[in-house]
Structure 1
Amino acid sequence: MTDSQSTIEVAMFAAAQALVGSDSVTLTLPAGATAGEVLVQLSERFPELQGLLPACRLAVDLQYVAADHLISPVAQLALIPPVSGG
């Protein structure tokens, strides 16, 4: 028996979008993946995000989540970096 996987899109905003050069990225997640695992995958796949990720929040289905939050295969994800305004 093999582990099932799902392909999920992570929307990128502000500085994260600029660093990866795209408004979204696609990740392949194993069944039972958590928000923390999403952040690890992003860090590994996009080393340019490593300095920014500690300040970012991951939103799942329009709500910020903790690292242990389980990711549904149909969830909408967004990486939200800190923003400034003025």
Structure 2
Amino acid sequence: MSSTAGWTLGYVIAIVVVLVVVALVVPILLLARRIGTQAGDIDDSLAESVTNTAGLAGLRVTIEHAGVIVAGLRRGRERLGG
């Protein structure tokens, strides 16, 4: 084997290794990009959910006030003989 044949074989092996690495890395990068896009969509949806459910924070106060109103109505009804 001449010295140029050895270099040629080395270059061919190096090119094959690089192609294999690229073939393995490209799908991983594409999947990572897709996951990143979906994560952004999920984050936007969660932010919208926070906005849409912000009113539920005052639900406990509303329930307490409704209880006071119902108790007052009950007392009024009893006083009126009903």
Give the TM interval when normalised to the shorter protein: under 0.3
Q: Which is richer in strand? A: 1
Q: Which is richer in helix? A: 2
- Indicate the structure whose relative CO is greater, using CA pairs within 8 Å and at least 6 residues apart: 1
Larger radius of gyration: 2
